């Protein structure tokens, strides 16, 4: 709704507050959210609001759903309700499909108290909707705010409008008391069937699916897991403990192996009282499990359930599952297996339809000064003639506008400082000396080993120019090392600074206090394990996030803490600076990712939607998007401009712990505890590769500077190199694949593996390519 | 169903809940307790699941107490204090009461607080860089046993290191002594540990120089004894060096004049010392060492000095090790040794001498085995045999440690080739050695050693007999003249050495030719005037008649004891040689004891008398 490119904005964002007075008001305060949307977010969505509730623009699925006019809609809803009450499911279904209404809207509308409906479902459905609305509310809020910003005069990403969302209500991870509708959510299970018959129902369905034609069987098998879970939860909720246990024992073996972690949680859940606080359970309740099934298979299922009068299962299918029906050939088992595995099923197709500007921003044109030093350097290497064409190629590359790139000013970015320009020039110079990697020319690997870390190293980052390395530790410290002979120095104290001659040429050198020079600086401030660290691109700042719920900004000039950003009330698992500085993102146990600017003490955007902890966060190279990986086994891509979720990638079978964008911005690599690395095409929203080989969690991923090689580092003490060029070459981007999202991946990824490199009992937790494509890996030596 | 049972979670019995309630002064009904127990279990599971998240984000594989406490803190539960130590908690079980508990020793805080020589703080976290793979190929860094850079050294430490190494390896014995002493007590040399370990690992390069080897072993010993050093994974490296000295055919042993035997004895002693004091640092260490030793022993190609090393190594590791490795292996090994010993050619003289060394070492080892076994049996008194043997199983084989864990010491081929159980080599060691009764063990061993084994017990008994018998002057005095007994002219040689011995005339004299085939006989002639066989049916040689002799001298005066040991050495190895031993109480430096001195003695045969206290005692029980 707000993904339109906005008009160019003039407001310049001041990059960083000098010295660290954090909470500066934004240059131009953005207007508050428009009153039309605000109340809708404010009141609990589950509250009885009559049919009018459906009228305000619903947050839910971005995409088609062009809602009819309110009056028409009401009539329609009344008819639907009538049909439902009289058990005319098929006609109801057809009508609903015709009206292109989504189930929850119907349900929400059906909430008139006079409709105690057949099987008592309406109440339950409403609550389910409430739950979903609850989760999407925040996204809606930020979306609305984003829209407001876009519409408003100011283009500054800012503010109060977004933050107006009560933080306590963000995400499902917060204590139950914060969620007034939890009990309502739970009560959706209240409907009673004969508990003894549950096993019969399930095994009947199982029998039916197993006897179905091969092509349908694979698709329909997807039903097993969500049905199993919901039936089990229903039994538990209605306090049929023994039936629940025997149901679990009988059927849990049928479930796919990648659900076993969830099943373990589920099996410990045997009492109604336990359901209240259980997060996994809530996830299941508050979101519909999404299945993608071909129309034929769906018809088959529907016919079967109606023939058998199997209302119990039919109700679950209707209320708790979202069946995304597509036309065409049913998918094969491999195709399905590649995409499933997340906590809430696959992504809906329309969730990945939004346009994403994945191109790179145009680089500012910088005059590369032809200083003598440079000349000499080139001469020494004996190829002075090659210099010119190279520079030209650099220049031409940056001049051409990428058609997929977002407008240059889609989000305001800080202006380049002189020092940034110098750094860019350095970068270009280095780039000319860059090793061209490929299957024939693999990078050399240097390993930075943290010794005597006592099992406490949690996070590592290296500056872009590879001059400093930072380690976050479980003992709450952040340690910065210089890995060049240049030692780390702080700025002199204010009194001493007053004495120096500000006019002198070497003033930048004079302000440094030589007495403080050391190889290592330790930053104290957090009061809990540090879980993530990130250098700012200009190397003046450092971010760290911690178990204590804060993100801290440190100055690398004074080696002191400048700001503590409070917002996450739970451990913050990851943080990263934008590639242009100024902005940064953080994600944590409260299931949301937040976008911050260094000079705002409150987040600019809150990205809510994940069903479990946000475990890792990465900026897209053009800074317009943010990717987040989560323990719900999905990866989401968020638009920084409006806070919308524009991509949902499912397919991992374990919590995601690493993300990496390819340098051209087109692809995303993700690594998870299942030891697999998946590659995604951002533009099409498709999985394009699966790299199997690691035997333990992949904690580090990095593309080489030119994107030819993907390096992955894992807990299994290995670094592996993969042929990224080959993966993306083989990519089939025909219309059919793009349209349906059905992908065929090669079974074996061994021909993509270029090398496996062992470390000496050192798990690899960070990888970095230097500007010349030397691979730096790091981790803590952990003797067995 | 059964699958479900397997993955069952820990459950708290309601009794525990009620107990807790009672300690808080509450009475709970059964129903409430059951509900509470179930809820507590659920909460525990939840906390455990949450804590694993912290582990994952700390990028560890091991769940720590700290992780669990974090999970508790975030769910607003009080944390559990007092379990933060990195050291593993020993978990003990008392089988009788089905009681399991963690050892919780008291710590004297006052002593800790007032300690003057505090260990130096842990090494500082540091980052080191090295080029691992150049152009994606090869590893430039050799995978040595000692990490090349561990922590930076201050100049003082460096100086200390140089001085100490120079002193130890230098010429001045006095200086060496001082240096070693300091190495043993200095509390500030933690940072130097890898360097010293590296120095010790230099044994491989000086295997021609006994003196240097000896000194390096002394360094190892000092390091081990230094209470301020935490050896950690360096134990492996140290053991590898020591094992090298024990097992390898050192260059120094080419010259028969070199006393490399003593070095091996010393190294074996050191090995056991390391193992007993630091064995807990490396899991599966014991198993691994045993495998190495066994491998050497089973390899007939290796020189005898290596075999000797293996035997003394086993001996040093305790009688259990001997029982597990040497004892079952003896029958195969014996054939080889026999061949060496029976070869009288001049060219074989040197090898034969070595063979005697090995023979002596084995003898000492099995002797200890028998004694300790007897002791363990008698210590248990009324317990049945087999049960007793099992219960004695070594404490370091607790289930916590995986005997399959493999690591190589990286010193030599035989250590590197350790297969997991190595079925093709037959090197696997059963974790639980079959419980063989003392009696059977003795019989078996007697097959090999015959007389000479008994000899050693004879001397032992003599030393101890005072406790057993009414004191008789003769009995006590071991220094007195030996009495003439029986056929005094019997040449007492090790049976194996009398390969040409023919059937002695006494076979015909034997009054009890109809006895079941006899095994070693050991009896108190005082209580039983006539010799009697307590032997059992013997399996593999039923046709052999055995010879039993009468007591050769009549008891007179105050009762005294003597052993009479006789029999035919059965089995292929002994070709049915006859022998007989009759030990009266020694009344002086008997020819037996004199003979004992002629035996190839190794190491420390003279054990403190006390240790033998019970062994003799128990020898009577089964016979």
Strand partners, A540: none
Neighbours of B89 (CB within 10 A): 12
Written as one string, the DSSP assignment of A391-413 is HHHHHHHHHSPPTTSPPTTSS--
Task: Name the pTM for this structure.
Answer: 0.58
Choosing among A175, A261, A272, A447, which should be mutated to test the B contact, i.e. which has the most B CBs within 10 A? Answer: A447
Q: Is the pLDDT of residue B581 over 70?
A: no
Choosing among A547, A568, A723, which should be mutated to test the B contact, i.e. which has the most B CBs within 10 A? Answer: A547
Q: Is the pLDDT of residue B549 over 50?
A: no
Give the H/E segment covering residue A699: strand A698-703
B4 contacts in chain A (CB < 8 Å)? 248-249, 252
What pLDDT is attached to residue A566? 92
A647-661, B117-131, B213-227: range with lowest mean pLDDT: B117-131
Residue A369: pLDDT band (50, 70, 90) is: low
**Higher-confidence position of B97 and A525:** A525
What pLDDT is attached to residue A765? 93
If you measure CA to CA, which chain A residue comes closest to B142?
Answer: A760
Structure tokens at A619: 């900026």
Give the H/E segment covering residue B129: strand B126-134
Q: Is the pLDDT of residue A240 over 70?
A: yes
Closest CA to A192 of A104, A312, A349, A101: A312
Q: Is the pLDDT of residue B397 over 80?
A: no
Instruction: Give A551-582 pLDDT, tens digit per residue.
Output: 999 999 999 999 999 989 899 999 999 999 99
DSSP at A461: E
Inter-chain residue contact A760 with B38, CB threshold 8 Å: no
How close B401 comes to chain A (CA, Å)? 13
Q: Is the pLDDT of residue A153 over 50?
A: no
What pLDDT is attached to residue B484? 39
If you measure CA to CA, which chain B residue comes closest to A780?
Answer: B127
What pLDDT is attached to residue B467? 39
Q: Is the pLDDT of residue A535 over 60?
A: yes
Inter-chain residue contact A444 with B131, CB threshold 8 Å: yes
Q: Is the pLDDT of residue B122 over 60?
A: yes
Inter-chain residue contact A443 with B53, CB threshold 8 Å: no
φ, ψ for residue A457 (rounded to 5)? -80, 125
Q: Is the pLDDT of residue B252 over 80?
A: no
Residue A98: pLDDT band (50, 70, 90) is: low
A343-352, A664-673, B33-42, B375-384: range with lowest mean pLDDT: B375-384
* Ranges A236-245, A383-392, B115-124, most confident: A236-245
Measured distance CA(A706)–CA(A11) in Å, rounded: 33
φ, ψ for residue B126 (rounded to 5)? -145, 160
Confirm whether the ipTM is greater than 0.85: no
- Coil, strand, or helix at residue A154? coil
Instruction: Give A262-288 pLDDT, tens digit per residue.
Output: 888 888 888 877 877 777 677 777 778
Q: Is the pLDDT of residue B502 over 50?
A: no
Q: Is the pLDDT of residue A703 over 80?
A: yes
Q: Is the pLDDT of residue B409 over 80?
A: no
Instruction: Give B153-167 pLDDT, tens digit per residue.
Output: 677 788 888 888 888
What pLDDT is attached to residue B381? 52
What pLDDT is attached to residue A670? 95
Strand partners, A776: A446, A768
What pLDDT is attached to residue B246? 84
* Ranges A267-281, A718-732, B538-552, B579-593, most confident: A718-732
Sequence-distant (≥ 6) Cβ neighbours of residue A411 within 8 angstroms: A155, A157, A623, A624, A640, A641
A754 contacts in chain B (CB < 8 Å)? 136
Q: Is the pLDDT of residue A66 over 80?
A: no
Q: Is the pLDDT of residue A14 over 70?
A: no
What pLDDT is attached to residue B245? 85
What pLDDT is attached to residue A435? 85
Neighbours of B499 (CB within 10 A): 14
Structure tokens at A379: 């001469």
Average predicted confidence (pLDDT) for chain A: 75
Instruction: Give B198-248 pLDDT, tens digit per residue.
Output: 888 877 777 788 888 888 888 888 888 887 777 777 888 888 888 888 888
Instruction: Tell me what the mean pLDDT of segment A10-25 comes to.
Output: 39
How close B5 comes to chain A (CA, Å)? 9
CA B565 to chain centre: 29
Percent of chain B with pLDDT over 70: 55
Measured distance CA(B495)–CA(B560) in Å, rounded: 27
What pLDDT is attached to residue A778? 92
Cβ atoms of A433 and A770 within 8 Å: the answer is no
DSSP at B466: G
Q: Is the pLDDT of residue A495 over 60?
A: yes
The sign of the dihedral angle between the CA atoms of A682, A685, A688, A692 is: positive
| CB burial readout B578-612, b (16+ within 10 A) else e | bbbbbbbbbbeebebbebbeebbebbebeeeeeeb
Written as one string, the DSSP assignment of A102-124 is -HHHHHHHTT-TT---GGGHHHH
How close B328 comes to chain A (CA, Å)? 33
The answer to whether A223 contacts chain B (CB < 8 Å) is no
φ, ψ for residue A414 (rounded to 5)? -65, 150
3-state helix, strand, coil in chain A (%, to 5): 35, 20, 40
Q: Is the pLDDT of residue A531 over 90?
A: yes
Instruction: Give A583-594 pLDDT, tens digit per residue.
Output: 999 999 999 999
Q: Is the pLDDT of residue B459 over 70?
A: no
Percent of chain B with pLDDT over 90: 1
Percent of chain A with pLDDT over 90: 28
If you measure CA to CA, which chain A residue comes closest to B1?
Answer: A249
What pLDDT is attached to residue A237? 83
What pLDDT is attached to residue A120? 37
Instruction: Tell me what the mean pLDDT of segment A112-130 comes to.
Output: 38
DSSP at B205: G
Written as one string, the DSSP assignment of A615-676 is EEEEE-TTSSEEEEEETTSEEEEEETTT--EEEEEE--SS-EEEEEE-TTSSEEEEEETTS-
If you measure CA to CA, which chain B residue comes closest to A658?
Answer: B57
φ, ψ for residue A521 (rounded to 5)? -125, 135
Average predicted confidence (pLDDT) for chain B: 65
What pLDDT is attached to residue B50? 87
Q: Is the pLDDT of residue B498 over 60?
A: no
Choosing among A244, A257, A451, which should be mutated to test the B contact, i.e. which has the most B CBs within 10 A? Answer: A451
Partner residue opposite B42 with nearest CB, options A268, A446, A615: A268
Partner residue opposite B133 with nearest CB, options A457, A699, A757: A757
Instruction: Give A747-780 pLDDT, tens digit per residue.
Output: 777 888 888 888 888 899 999 999 999 999 999 9
Partner residue opposite B127 with nearest CB, options A265, A449, A547: A449
Instruction: Give A404-451 pLDDT, tens digit per residue.
Output: 888 888 899 888 888 888 888 888 888 888 888 888 888 989 999 998
Inter-chain residue contact A248 with B56, CB threshold 8 Å: no
Measured distance CA(B42)–CA(A264) in Å, rounded: 12
**Higher-confidence position of A65 and A236:** A236
Strand partners, B566: B580
Residue A542: pLDDT band (50, 70, 90) is: very high
- Coil, strand, or helix at residue A564? strand
């Amino acid at each position: 709704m707000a993904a339109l490119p906005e008009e160019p904005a003039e407001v310049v964002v001041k990059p960083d507050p000098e010295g660290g007075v954090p909470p500066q008001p934004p240059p131009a305060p953005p207007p508050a959210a428009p009153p039309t949307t605000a109340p809708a977010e404010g009141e609990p969505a589950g509250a009885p609001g009559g049919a009018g509730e459906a009228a305000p623009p619903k947050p839910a699925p971005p995409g088609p759903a062009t809602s009819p006019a309110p009056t028409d809609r009401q009539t329609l809803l009344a008819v639907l309700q009538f049909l439902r009450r009289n058990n005319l499911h098929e006609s109801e279904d057809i009508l609903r499909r015709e009206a292109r209404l989504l189930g929850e809207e119907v349900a929400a509308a059906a909430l008139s108290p006079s409709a105690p409906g057949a099987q008592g479902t309406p109440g339950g459905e409403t609550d389910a909707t409430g739950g979903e609305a609850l989760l999407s509310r925040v996204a809606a809020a930020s979306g609305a705010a984003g829209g407001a910003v876009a519409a408003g005069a100011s283009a500054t990403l800012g503010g109060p409008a977004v933050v107006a969302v009560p933080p306590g209500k963000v995400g499902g991870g917060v204590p139950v008391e914060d969620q007034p509708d939890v009990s309502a959510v739970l009560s959706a299970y209240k409907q009673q069937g004969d508990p003894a018959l549950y096993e019969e129902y399930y095994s009947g369905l199982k029998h039916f699916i197993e006897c179905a034609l091969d092509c349908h069987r694979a698709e329909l098998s997807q039903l097993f897991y969500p049905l199993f879970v919901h039936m089990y939860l229903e039994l538990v909720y209605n306090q049929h403990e023994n039936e629940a246990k025997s149901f679990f024992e009988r059927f849990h073996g049928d479930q796919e192996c990648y659900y076993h972690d969830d099943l373990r949680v589920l099996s410990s859940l045997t009492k109604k009282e336990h359901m209240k606080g259980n997060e996994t359970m809530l996830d299941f309740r508050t979101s519909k499990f999404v299945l993608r099934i071909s129309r034929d298979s769906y018809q088959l299922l529907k016919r079967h359930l109606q023939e058998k009068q199997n209302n119990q299962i039919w109700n679950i299918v209707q209320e708790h599952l979202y069946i995304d029906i597509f036309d065409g050939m049913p998918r094969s088992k491999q195709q399905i297996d590649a995409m499933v595995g997340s906590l809430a099923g696959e992504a809906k197709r329309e969730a990945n339809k939004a346009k994403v500007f994945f191109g790179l921003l145009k680089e500012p044109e910088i005059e590369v000064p032809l200083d003598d030093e440079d000349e000499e350097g080139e001469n020494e290497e004996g190829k002075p003639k090659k210099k010119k064409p190279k520079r030209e190629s650099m220049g031409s590359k940056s001049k051409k506008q990428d058609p997929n790139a977002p407008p240059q000013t889609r989000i305001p970015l800080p202006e380049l400082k002189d020092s940034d320009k110098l750094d860019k020039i350095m970068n270009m110079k280095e780039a000319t000396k860059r090793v061209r990697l490929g299957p024939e020319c693999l990078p050399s690997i240097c390993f930075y080993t943290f010794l005597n870390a006592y099992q406490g190293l949690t996070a590592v980052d290296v500056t872009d120019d590879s001059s400093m390395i930072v380690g976050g530790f479980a003992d709450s410290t952040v340690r910065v090392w210089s890995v060049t002979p240049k030692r780390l120095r702080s700025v002199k104290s204010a009194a001493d600074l007053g004495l120096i001659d500000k006019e002198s040429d070497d003033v930048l050198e004079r302000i440094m206090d030589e007495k403080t020079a050391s190889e290592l600086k330790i930053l104290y401030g957090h009061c809990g394990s540090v879980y993530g660290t990130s250098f700012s691109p200009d190397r003046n700042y450092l971010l760290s996030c911690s178990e204590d719920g804060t993100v801290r900004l440190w100055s690398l000039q004074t080696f002191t803490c400048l700001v503590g950003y409070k917002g996450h009330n739970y451990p913050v698992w990851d943080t990263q600076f934008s590639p242009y500085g100024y902005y940064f993102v953080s994600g944590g146990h409260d299931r949301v990712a937040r976008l911050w600017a260094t000079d705002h003490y409150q987040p600019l955007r809150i990205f809510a939607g994940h069903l479990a902890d946000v475990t890792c966060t990465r900026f897209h190279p053009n800074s317009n998007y943010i990717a987040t990986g989560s323990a719900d086994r999905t990866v989401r891509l968020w638009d920084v401009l409006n806070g919308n979720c524009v991509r949902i990638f499912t397919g991992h079978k374990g919590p995601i712990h690493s993300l990496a964008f390819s340098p051209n911005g087109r692809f995303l690599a993700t690594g998870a505890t299942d030891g697999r690395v998946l590659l995604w095409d951002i533009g099409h929203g498709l999985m394009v590769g699966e790299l199997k080989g690691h035997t333990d969690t992949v904690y580090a991923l990095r593309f080489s500077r030119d994107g030819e090689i993907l390096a992955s580092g894992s807990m299994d003490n290995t670094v592996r190199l993969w042929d990224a060029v080959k993966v993306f070459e083989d990519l089939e981007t025909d219309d059919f694949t793009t349209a349906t999202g059905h992908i065929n991946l090669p079974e074996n990824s061994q021909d993509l593996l270029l090398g496996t490199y062992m470390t000496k009992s050192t798990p690899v937790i960070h990888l970095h390519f230097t500007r010349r494509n030397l691979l730096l890996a790091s981790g803590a030596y952990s003797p067995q | 169903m059964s699958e479900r049972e397997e993955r069952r979670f820990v459950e708290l019995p309601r009794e525990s809940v009620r107990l807790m309630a009672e300690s808080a002064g509450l009475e709970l009904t059964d129903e409430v307790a059951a509900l509470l127990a179930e809820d507590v279990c659920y909460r525990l599971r939840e906390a455990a699941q949450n804590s694993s998240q912290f582990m994952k984000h700390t990028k560890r594989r091991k769940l720590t107490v700290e992780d669990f406490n974090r999970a508790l803190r975030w769910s607003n539960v009080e944390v559990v204090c007092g379990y933060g130590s990195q050291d593993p908690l020993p978990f003990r079980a008392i089988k009788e009461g089905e009681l399991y508990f963690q050892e919780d020793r008291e710590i004297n805080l006052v002593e800790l607080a007032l300690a003057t020589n505090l260990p130096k703080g842990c090494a500082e976290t540091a980052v080191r860089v090295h080029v691992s793979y150049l152009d994606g190929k090869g590893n430039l860094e050799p995978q040595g046993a000692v990490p090349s850079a561990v922590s930076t050294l201050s100049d003082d430490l460096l100086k200390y290191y140089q001085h100490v190494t120079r002193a130890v390896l230098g010429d001045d014995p006095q200086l060496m002594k001082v240096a070693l002493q300091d190495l043993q007590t200095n509390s500030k040399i933690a940072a130097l540990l890898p360097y010293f370990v590296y120095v010790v690992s230099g044994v491989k390069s000086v295997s021609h120089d006994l003196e240097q080897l000896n000194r390096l072993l002394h360094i190892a010993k000092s390091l081990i004894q230094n209470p301020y050093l935490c050896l950690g994974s360096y134990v492996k490296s140290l053991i590898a060096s020591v094992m090298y000295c024990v097992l390898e055919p050192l260059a120094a042993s080419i010259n028969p004049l070199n006393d490399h035997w003593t070095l091996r004895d010393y190294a074996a002693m050191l090995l056991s010392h390391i193992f007993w004091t630091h064995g807990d640092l490396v899991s599966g260490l014991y198993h691994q060492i045993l495998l190495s030793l066994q491998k050497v022993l089973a390899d007939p190609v290796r020189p005898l000095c290596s075999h000797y090393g293996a035997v003394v190594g086993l001996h040093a590791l305790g009688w259990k090790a001997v029982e597990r490795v040497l004892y079952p292996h003896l029958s195969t090994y014996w054939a080889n040794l026999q061949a060496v010993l029976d070869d009288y050619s001049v060219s074989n003289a040197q090898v034969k001498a070595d063979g005697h060394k090995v023979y002596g070492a084995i003898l000492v080892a099995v002797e200890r085995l028998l004694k300790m076994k007897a002791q363990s049996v008698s210590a248990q008194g009324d317990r049945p045999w087999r049960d007793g043997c099992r219960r004695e199983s070594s404490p370091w084989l607790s289930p916590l440690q995986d005997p399959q864990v493999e690591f190589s010491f990286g010193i030599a081929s035989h250590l590197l080739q350790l297969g997991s159980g190595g079925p093709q080599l037959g090197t696997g060691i059963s974790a639980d050695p079959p419980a063989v009764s003392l009696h059977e063990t003795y019989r078996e061993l007697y097959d090999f050693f015959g007389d000479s084994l008994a000899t050693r017990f004879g001397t032992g008994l003599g030393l101890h007999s005072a406790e057993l018998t009414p004191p008789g002057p003769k009995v006590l005095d071991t220094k007195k003249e030996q009495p003439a007994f029986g056929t005094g002219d019997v040449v007492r040689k090790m049976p194996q050495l009398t390969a040409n011995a023919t059937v002695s005339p006494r076979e015909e004299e034997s009054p009890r030719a109809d006895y079941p085939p006899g095994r070693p006989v050991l009896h108190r002639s005082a209580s039983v005037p006539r010799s009697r066989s307590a032997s059992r049916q013997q399996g593999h040689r039923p046709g052999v008649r055995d010879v039993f002799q009468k007591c050769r001298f009549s008891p007179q005066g105050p009762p005294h004891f003597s052993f009479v040991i006789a029999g035919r050495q059965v089995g292929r190895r002994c070709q049915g040689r006859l022998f007989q031993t009759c030990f009266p109480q020694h009344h002086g430096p008997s020819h037996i004891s004199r003979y004992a001195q002629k035996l190839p003695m190794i190491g420390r045969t003279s054990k403190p008398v006390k240790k033998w206290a019970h062994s003799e005692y128990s020898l009577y029980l089964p016979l």
